[in-house]
Amino acid sequence: MHYDVIIIGSGLGGLLCGSMLGKEGLRVCIIEKNKQLGGNLQTFARKKQIFDTGVHYIGGLDKGQNLYQVFQYAGIMDGLRLEKMEETFDHILLENDPKVYVQSQGYAAFINNLVADFPEEKKAILRYCEQVKAVCSKFPLYQLTTDDAAVKDEVLGLSAQETIASLTNNKKLQAVLAGNNLLYSGVADKTPFHVHALIVNSYIESSWKCVDGGSQIAKLLAAEIKKQGGTIIRNCEVKRIVETGGTISHIETANGDTITARYFISNINPAATLQLTDSALLKNIYRKRITGLPNTVSSFSLHLVLKPHSVLYKNHNYYFHKEGYLWNMNDYTEANWPLGYGLYVTPDRKDPRYAATVSILTPMWFRDVAQWKDTCNRVGKEAARGTDYEAFKKQKKDQLLALVNGRFPEIVAHIQHSYAATPLTNRDYIGLEDGSMYGIQKDYKNPLQTVISPRTKIPNLFLTGQSLNLHGILGTSLSAVLTCSLLLNDDTLVDKIRNA
C-alpha cells in the first residue's frame, strides 16, 4: 500500500499532523505499536473510574486562543467534552506554611490574588506578568503568526529560576510563581524562562479539564483522520526507516510488512528515530548531538479511587513543595524522596459535590527501577514484574502518602483502592526508554542545542512531538503545526488555523 504520508507514533503530535495533512488533501497512514492510541493522552479505567495518565488539565482553549484555534482547524473542538476550572486553577502549598497560595485565570485575577497575599510585592508581581507576556510575544507560532519566525537568542538564553529571582527577593513569592513547575520538569541549572512563560501563560489565559479524560482528544482526531480517508494501524511496531537514493522509500514493521509513502513523519523521540535508520545522510555529528541530549525526569504516580461521598470535590489542582527544593525536586535521595508532588482530583459524575478519584505525581528517575528494565507489562503484552517490584511500589506509595497526609488527611483516610505506576509503566506505554515525562530537557545555557528542527537532512523525513520545541499539550500541538507547514512548504497553514 502506498501513502502520501506515513506517521510513526500516535501521540498528540502524530494525530494532529495526520488530521491537518488529511485536511490538506494528503492520504495519511498512522502506525502505532500499542493497542491504545494517544501516547500521553491515554487513559485507563479501574473500578469503573477513568484515570488520565498525562493530561490533567489544558490551557489556551477559550474561543480564539491558540490551542482552541489548532483544535478547531483539526476538526475536534466542537466534539470535546470540557469543564472550565475555577478561577484559582492551581493552589500552591509550601512546607511549614499552612497558607494556600493561588494562581488564577485572567491576568487581573492572577495579579489581584497574589497582591492580596504579598501586598509589598505588587511591583514585582506586575513586572513578572509583563515579563511573561513579553517573552510569549517573541514566539510567532505561539501567536499563530509566521512573522519573523526566528525566535531571538536573548529570549532563549534566560534561566527560569534566575529570571524569577531577579524580579523578587521574596523566596515565598518565587515558590508560588514557579509552584507548578512539575508541568515542565523545572530544574535550577537548565530550565529556560520561556518554557515557564509559554506554559504558565496558556493556563492564565484559560484552564480546562477534559470530562472523562484526555483520550477523547485522540479518539476525535482518529475519527477525523478516518473521515478524510486516512488509515490507522495499531499493534504494529516500526523496525526500520529505509533510505534509498537520498530519500526515505519505505518502512519495515516487526511483522515483516513494507509500507511506502512520499513523506514520513516520526512522532517518536528523535533519538529513537535515529536508531531506526542507518542512512549516511544523517551525519555522525547530528546523531551524537541528538542521542547525547538528556531527557527530563520520569514520574511515580499514584491513582486513588475514593470511598463514595467521602471527600468534597474542588475544581482546582494542588502543588506541594518541600522547603528549599523548589527547583531541585529531581535531586532527591532515597531518604528524602519525595520532595514535592502535583495532586489532581476528578468529580463523582453522579454527584459532583464529591471527589471520585485523585491522581498524585512526583518525579522519579528511571535508575530507581532499572533492575526490572528487562520486564514489560502493558495491554496486549501483560507480564508480572515480580514480588520485589510490588514491594518497591508499596514502599514508595507509603512514602508518598505519608507526605500527602500532612496536607490532605481526608484523602488518605478515604482511599478505597490505589494503583501505582513507575517509570517502567511510562516507558511501556509511551515508548521513551527512560520513561521521561516531557522528552528532551531544554537548557537555557545552550538553547539551540536542545531545540530540534522538524526537518532532517533526509528531505522527506520530518520529526514532530514534544521533544522539539515545547512540552505538554500546547507545545506538542504547535510543533505539529510547524512540522505540517514545513512538509507542505506552505506558510498559509498557520493563517488558516488562526482564522479557523
Classify residue 431: in a domain, yes or no. no
**What average pLDDT does this structure show over 477-490?**
95
Classify residue 115: in a domain, yes or no. no
Classify residue 272: in a domain, yes or no. yes
Close Cβ partners of 466 (under 8 Å, ≥ 6 residues apart): 11, 13, 438, 439, 472, 475, 476, 479
C-alpha cell at 371: 533492575
Classify residue 408: in a domain, yes or no. no
CA distances from 401 to 11, 92, 337, 397 (A): 31, 18, 12, 6
Cis peptide before 308 (omega within 30 of 0): no
Classify residue 404: in a domain, yes or no. no
Q: Where would I find the H helices in 406-471?
A: 409-413, 423-430, 447-450
Q: Is residue 318 a contact partner of residue 342, using CB atoms and an 8 Å limit?
A: yes
What CATH number is attached to the domain comprising 13? 3.50.50.60
C-alpha cell at 175: 515558590
Rounded to the nearest 5 percent, the helix, strand and coil shares of the chain are 40, 25, 40
Residue 59's domain comprises 2-72+212-293+440-498
Least confident of 18-27, 153-162, 452-461: 153-162
pLDDT category, 492, cuts 50, 70, 90?
A: very high
Q: What is the DSSP letter of 141?
A: G
The per-residue pLDDT for range 280-323, each reduced to its tens digit, is 999 999 999 999 999 999 999 999 999 999 999 999 999 999 99
Classify residue 126: in a domain, yes or no. no
pTM over 0.85: yes
Which residue from 10, 185, 66 is spatially nearest to 477, judged by alpha carbons?
66
244 DSSP β-pair partners: 247
Classify residue 243: in a domain, yes or no. yes
Q: CA torsion sign, 108 to 114 to 119 to 124?
A: negative
Q: What are phi and psi of 30, to 5 degrees?
A: -105, 135
Q: Is 79 helix (H, G, I), strand (E, B) or coil?
A: helix
Q: Helices 472-488 and 193-205 sit at what angle, rounded to 10 degrees? A: 100
**What average pLDDT does this structure show over 36-51?**
78
Q: Output the average pLDDT for the chain.
A: 93
State how many domains the chain has.
1
Strand order, beta sheet including 317-321 = 97-103, 90-94, 317-321, 340-347, 355-364, 298-306, 415-421
Rg (CA), the chain: 22
Least confident of 171-175, 347-351, 471-475: 471-475
Q: Is the pLDDT reported for residue 151 higher than 70? A: no
Q: Is 206 helix (H, G, I), strand (E, B) or coil?
A: coil
Strands (DSSP E) contained in 148-229 are: 207-210
Predicted local distance difference test score (pLDDT) of residue 301:
95
Classify residue 167: in a domain, yes or no. no
The per-residue pLDDT for range 340-361, each reduced to its tens digit, is 999 999 999 899 999 999 999 9
Strands (DSSP E) contained in 161-292 are: 207-210, 231-233, 238-244, 247-253, 258-266
Q: Where would I find the H helices in 308-441?
A: 387-405, 409-413, 423-430
Give the number of C-alpha atoms closer than 13 A to the C-alpha of residue 404, restricted to the C-beta side: 26
Least confident of 25-29, 136-140, 229-233, 375-379: 375-379
Q: How far apart are CA 178 and CA 327, in angstroms?
A: 8
Q: Helices 472-488 and 12-23 sit at what angle, rounded to 10 degrees? A: 40
pLDDT category, 363, cuts 50, 70, 90?
A: very high
